[in-house]
């Protein structure tokens, strides 16, 4: 064995050897120009992605393994527990050094609070292996001995139905966690352990060498230790979003190289990723442009003919169009060709074919956008309704949730999910005191269970725009506010969209009634509740907390259990303006069906505007819960109040804010366009140059990527930007048809429906032949979906890997529904339907 290792080292060291030649011709693992390791069908990223702390551990950091274009491992780093959860601490990157000539990547990291500094070093260890080391400048402190260890996390869904070898012993990866557990002292809530914690999983196997999935080359990985044994854990025993973890404990009393692993991968010379045909899963309107995007492996130099096949009633396929796809060029890690079949207009059922890759069937039809939004308005938004029991036929989505809302948050407190309370409550309530009246209306923000005010008013305004522009009168949902009950698929005689507008406005009004101003939101008091999965009504007891009662004791509508959500109430003028913009908009939509409530909404909006404009603004700011930019929120309030009242004072305010609009037009364009009917002609004229600049920027997307839409690169995927782009394009096209073409609207929807990097799946659950069926909703533990929900979409892992997992819902940056995207999708789909109808 030693002779074999010596021979391998010599082959790597001598420039004239076969190993050196392999490195030069790309068949051996080496660092590429993008600073990650590459071999045929294999990539190893080393801190190309780093935890940003925004939502703690997002499973995109440290040493990461991609095999055959699937990321199967991540978070290779020193951690302070065997199965670290989302809220457990992660090290801070101090420096990253890449030596391509030597094949070495070194990353210096630290845990400042623990006084721990270390280096993770990687280097080639053969044609398809990487040596991973942990270097310590000094020995571990006694407190970290047995606690600090290097972990490499493997995606559970990649290893379901697979086996492993632990040295000579065989094992099978469990479909459901069944680990032996060891009782521990209950951790502090800030550590991320739930109230039901107090136990840690024990290893399911221990060995010097693990071979994972030995029978499956796409998933086969060998990890061997030159020192301490490696333990295999099942992190799902503590949290459903846990991963399989290989861990090596760092030894005490030593410095220098204290961990030495060889990670051997499954390179496959000559392997090419199969083509992906990006296209709209719902199909195309006859007159719109129809361009499929064919995504190819960067080493795939083959060519072929793309065909559009029409499916007959007897199952026979007729070639409706065929051509050699045009070369577009490189983007991210792939090469792209495009197939334009716009000339085909005949309604029918079609599939696309390229070199044996075939799509699912899709339609060409005048009415494809007319019903695309039905599930979003008729299923997803009702499921997200808080303070209501929601039923769908035989299924209960959740009971009447959070009837015990809400307690005043403690002062000077930074909370989870970007909430923070300032140095005072800014209310008449003491910390911990119940604030009456907040247990009405609103939508659960996302896959979790908070009411985020900034989301609430965005949804209300979007729904009002859809109502006013498109006159949506669809009624398939029964919503009874008095009974606090929703029945999906049961009409009640009132347009669903008006009932949703009212439900959102009710929560906003309640905030002003309760404390006199808009609040940041209402959120769970601890991580244990925050990570709750299942029925929202089972998360709290629905009874108002009473500190005079012992835990578990109930007296009337009071309880000694402190499970009530917290309200964060520090004053923010941005939130006030955003909320009254929504209330002014709601007053217009509800006038004629609920005149008293409409008048109440408008009265609050006018009163708060007058108050805010008469004093210096409250500028409390934290995370993404305290409103958007102050001037944008104020602009929105002025526009919505002008549309509701025609009062010239608001028009004057808009005129005064017009000069700064050229700097923020991309963000504020939709609001600016809403004001055109209520402003003098010079206002529209002032917007035209801004529209032309926007159109030029939009046209540039066609040269930046083959999908012709903005593609973002943050830690949260970019479907929100794409939807905003499409809605803005529609409104600009209506206002300036000679400046902004309608095609941007259809490009945005095609992207959402499957014409995007990485796959061809529709990002709107239940919409399109192949759509998101495993997503991050309140039912994510069931590996399921909520029809009409829109996920964030395709996340680009730096530097170049597009990812959206259909087999693992817990990637929130890729798969988490957020309620404002659902409402915005209704608006965008109706925009396309209006254009298609013309």
Q: Tokens 């032949």 sit at which residue?
A: 769
Residue 572 reports pLDDT greater than 90: yes
At 433, the pLDDT band (50, 70, 90 cuts) reads very high
The secondary structure of residue 759, as a DSSP letter, is: B
Confidence (pLDDT) at 1: 33
pLDDT bucket at 579, cuts 50 / 70 / 90: very high
pLDDT-derived band of residue 86, with 50, 70 and 90 as boundaries? confident
pLDDT band at residue 185 under the 50/70/90 scheme: low
Q: Residues 186-214: what's their mean pLDDT?
A: 74
In order of their start, the domains of the chain are 2-182+200-264 (2.70.98), 276-364 (2.60.40.10), 375-625 (1.50.10.10), 665-838 (1.50.10.10)
Token digits of residue 390:
């929601």
Read off the pLDDT of each residue in 283-296 and give the average, rounded to a whole number: 97
Name 106's bridge partners.
Answer: 97, 121
Question: Which pLDDT value is given to residue 302?
Answer: 85
Task: Write down the mean pLDDT value for the chain.
Answer: 94
Radius of gyration of the chain, Cα coordinates, nearest whole angstrom: 28
- Mean pLDDT over 472-476 rounds to 98
Cis peptide before 406 (omega within 30 of 0): yes
CA-based nearest residue to 302, from 339, 354, 252, 350: 354
Which of 527, 450, 566 is closest to 57 using CA atoms? 527
Q: Quick check: 525 pLDDT over 50?
A: yes
Give the whole-angstrom CA distance, residue 820 versus residue 504: 11
Dihedral sign, CA of 345, 347, 348, 349? positive
The mean pLDDT of 175-203, rounded to a whole number, is 71
Handedness of CA 726, 730, 736, 738 (dihedral sign): positive
Q: Which pLDDT score, from 0 to 100, does residue 53 have?
A: 64
Contact between 779 and 820 under an 8 Å Cβ cutoff? The reply is no
Q: Is the confidence at residue 543, as pLDDT, over 90? A: yes
pLDDT at residue 197 above 90? no
* pLDDT of 634: 98
**The pair of three-digit structure tokens given for residue 242, joined into one six-digit string:** 């846990």
Taking alpha carbons only, the member of 416, 389, 383 closest to residue 403 is 389
* 9 has a pLDDT exceeding 60: no
Name which residue leads in pLDDT, 11 or 476: 476
Residue 304 has pLDDT above 70, yes or no: yes
Query: Does residue 20 have a pLDDT over 60?
Result: no
Instruction: Collapse the DSSP code of 92 into the 3-class scheme (helix H, G, I; strand E, B; otherwise coil) and give the result.
Output: strand
pLDDT of residue 2 exceeding 70, the answer is no
Phi-psi region of 450 (alpha: psi -120 to 50; beta: other; left: phi over 0): beta
Whether the pLDDT of residue 747 is over 90: the answer is yes
CA 465 to chain centre: 25
Question: How far are the Cα atoms of 10, 214, 443 from residue 210, in angstroms, in the given order?
Answer: 26, 10, 46
Task: For residue 490, give every residue at least 6 positions away whose Cβ sits within 8 Å of its Cβ, in sequence order, or none.
Answer: 476, 477, 478
* pLDDT value at residue 138: 97
Give the pLDDT band of residue 186 (cuts 50, 70, 90). Answer: low
Q: Which residues, other chains included, contact 270 with Cβ-Cβ below 8 Å and sequence gap of 6+?
A: 40
pLDDT band with cut points at 50, 70 and 90 for residue 14 = very low
pLDDT band at 26 (very low <50, low <70, confident <90, very high): low
User: Which pLDDT value is given to residue 164?
Assistant: 98
State the CB neighbour count (10 A cutoff) for residue 424. Answer: 12
Name residues whose C-beta falls within 8 Å of residue 331's C-beta, 6 or more positions apart in sequence.
705, 706, 757
Q: What are the beta bridge partners of residue 443?
A: 385
DSSP 679-722: S-HHHHHHHHHHHHHHHHHHHHHHHH-TT-S----SSS-SHHHH
Residue 818 tokens read as 């957020």
pLDDT tens digits, residue range 113-168?
A: 999 999 999 999 999 999 999 999 999 999 999 999 999 999 999 999 999 999 99
State the pLDDT confidence band at 187, using cuts at 50, 70 and 90: very low
Rounded-to-integer distance, Cα 559 and Cα 543, Å = 6
Q: Specify the length of the chain in residues.
A: 838
Alpha-carbon span 290 to 287, nearest angstrom: 9
Q: What percent of the chain has pLDDT above 90?
A: 91
Percentage of the chain exceeding pLDDT 70: 95
| pLDDT higher at 260 or 11 | 260
Q: What's the CA gap between 804 and 717, in Å, rounded? A: 9
Half-sphere exposure of 734 toward its Cβ, with a 13 Å CA cutoff?
18
pTM (predicted TM-score):
0.94
What is residue 120's three-state secondary structure? strand
Beta carbons of 752 and 826 less than 8 angstroms apart:
no
Helix (H, G, I), strand (E, B) or coil at 264: strand
| Residue 87: per-residue pLDDT | 85
**Average pLDDT of 688-717?**
96
Q: Convert the pLDDT of each residue in 489-516 to its tens digit.
A: 999 999 999 999 999 999 999 999 999 9
> Which residue's structure tokens are 């309640």?
510
pLDDT tier, 7 (very low <50, low <70, confident <90, very high otherwise)? very low
- CB 828, CB 745: distance < 8 Å: yes
Mean predicted confidence (pLDDT) in 763-778: 97
Q: How far apart are the first and last CA of the chain?
A: 75
Q: What does residue 269 show for φ and ψ, rounded to 5 degrees?
A: -55, 135
pLDDT confidence of 57, banded at 50, 70, 90?
A: confident
Q: What is the mean pLDDT of residues 251-274?
A: 96
pLDDT tens-digit map of 652-687: 999 999 999 999 999 999 999 999 999 999 999 999
């Amino acid at each position: 064995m030693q002779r074999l290792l010596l021979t391998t080292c010599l082959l790597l060291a001598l420039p004239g050897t076969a190993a050196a030649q392999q490195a030069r011709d790309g068949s051996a693992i080496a660092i590429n120009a993008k600073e990650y390791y590459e071999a045929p069908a294999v990539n190893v990223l080393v801190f190309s992605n780093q935890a940003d702390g925004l939502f703690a551990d997002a499973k995109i950091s440290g040493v990461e393994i991609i095999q055959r274009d699937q990321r199967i491992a991540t978070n290779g780093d020193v951690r302070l527990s065997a199965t670290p959860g989302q809220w457990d601490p992660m090290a801070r990157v101090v420096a990253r050094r890449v030596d391509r000539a030597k094949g070495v990547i070194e990353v210096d990291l630290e845990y400042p609070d623990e006084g721990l500094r270390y280096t993770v070093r990687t280097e080639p260890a053969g044609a398809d292996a990487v040596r991973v080391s942990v270097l310590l400048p000094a020995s571990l402190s006694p407190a970290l001995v047995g606690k600090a260890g290097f972990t490499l996390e493997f995606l559970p869904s990649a290893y379901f139905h697979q086996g492993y070898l632990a040295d000579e012993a065989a094992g099978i990866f469990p479909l459901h966690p069944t680990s032996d557990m060891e009782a521990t002292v209950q951790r502090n809530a800030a550590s991320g352990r739930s109230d039901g914690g107090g136990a840690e999983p024990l290893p399911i196997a221990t060995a010097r060498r693990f071979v994972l999935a030995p029978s499956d080359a796409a998933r086969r990985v060998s990890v061997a230790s030159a020192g301490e044994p490696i333990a295999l854990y099942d992190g799902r025993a503590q949290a459903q979003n846990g991963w399989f973890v290989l861990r090596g404990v760092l030894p005490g009393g030593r410095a220098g190289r204290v961990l030495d692993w060889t990670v051997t991968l499954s390179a496959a010379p000559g392997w090419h990723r199969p083509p992906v045909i990006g296209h709209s899963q719902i199909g195309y309107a006859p007159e719109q442009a129809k361009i499929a995007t064919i995504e190819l492996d960067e080493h795939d130099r083959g060519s072929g003919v793309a065909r559009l096949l029409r499916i007959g009633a007897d199952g026979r396929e007729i070639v409706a169009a065929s051509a050699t796809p045009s070369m577009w060029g490189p983007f991210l890690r792939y090469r792209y060709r495009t197939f334009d079949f716009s000339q085909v207009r005949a309604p029918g059922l079609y599939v696309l074919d390229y070199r044996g890759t075939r799509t699912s069937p899709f339609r060409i039809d005048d009415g494809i956008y007319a019903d695309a939004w039905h599930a979003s308005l008729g299923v997803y938004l009702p499921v997200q309704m808080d303070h209501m029991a929601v039923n769908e036929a035989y299924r209960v989505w959740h009971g009447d949730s959070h009837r015990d809302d809400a307690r005043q948050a403690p002062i000077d407190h930074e909370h989870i999910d970007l909430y923070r309370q300032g140095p005072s409550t800014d209310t008449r309530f003491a910390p911990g005191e119940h604030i009456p009246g907040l247990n009405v209306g609103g939508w659960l923000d996302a896959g979790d269970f908070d009411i985020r005010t900034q989301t609430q008013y965005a949804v209300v305004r979007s729904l009002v725009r859809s109502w006013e522009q498109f006159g949506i009168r669809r009624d398939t949902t029964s919503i009874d506010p008095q009974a606090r009950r929703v029945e999906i698929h049961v009409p009640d005689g009132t347009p669903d969209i008006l009932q949703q507008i009212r439900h959102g406005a009710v929560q906003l009004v309640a905030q002003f009634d309760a404390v006199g101003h808009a609040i940041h939101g209402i959120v769970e008091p601890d991580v244990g509740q925050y990570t709750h999965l299942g029925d929202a009504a089972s998360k709290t007891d629905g009874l108002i907390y009473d500190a005079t009662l012992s835990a578990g004791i109930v007296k009337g509508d009071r309880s000694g259990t402190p499970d009530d959500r917290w309200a964060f109430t520090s004053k923010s003028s941005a939130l006030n303006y955003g909320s009254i913009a929504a209330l002014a908009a709601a007053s217009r939509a509800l006038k004629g069906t609920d005149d008293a409530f409409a008048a109440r909404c408008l009265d609050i909006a006018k009163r708060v505007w007058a108050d805010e404009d008469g004093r210096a603004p409250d500028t409390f700011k934290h995370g993404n819960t305290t409103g958007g930019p102050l001037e944008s929120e104020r602009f929105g309030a002025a526009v919505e109040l002008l549309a509701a009242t025609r009062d010239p004072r608001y028009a004057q305010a808009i005129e005064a804010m017009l000069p700064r609009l050229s700097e923020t037009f991309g963000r504020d364009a939709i609001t600016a366009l809403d004001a055109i009917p209520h402003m003098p002609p010079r206002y529209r004229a002032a917007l035209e140059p801004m529209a032309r600049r926007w159109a030029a920027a939009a046209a540039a997307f066609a040269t930046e990527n083959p999908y012709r839409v903005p593609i973002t690169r943050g830690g949260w995927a970019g479907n929100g930007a794409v939807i905003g782009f499409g809605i803005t394009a529609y409104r600009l096209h209506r206002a300036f048809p000679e400046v902004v073409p309608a095609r941007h609207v259809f490009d945005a929807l095609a992207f959402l429906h499957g014409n995007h990097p990485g796959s061809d799946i529709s990002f709107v659950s239940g919409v399109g032949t192949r759509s998101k069926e495993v997503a991050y909703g309140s039912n994510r533990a069931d590996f399921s979906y909520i029809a009409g929900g829109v996920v964030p979409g395709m996340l680009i892992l730096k530097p170049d890997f597009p990812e959206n997992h259909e087999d693992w819902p817990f990637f929130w940056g890729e798969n988490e529904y957020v309620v404002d995207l659902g409402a915005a999708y209704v608006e965008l789909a109706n925009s396309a339907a209006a254009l298609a109808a013309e």
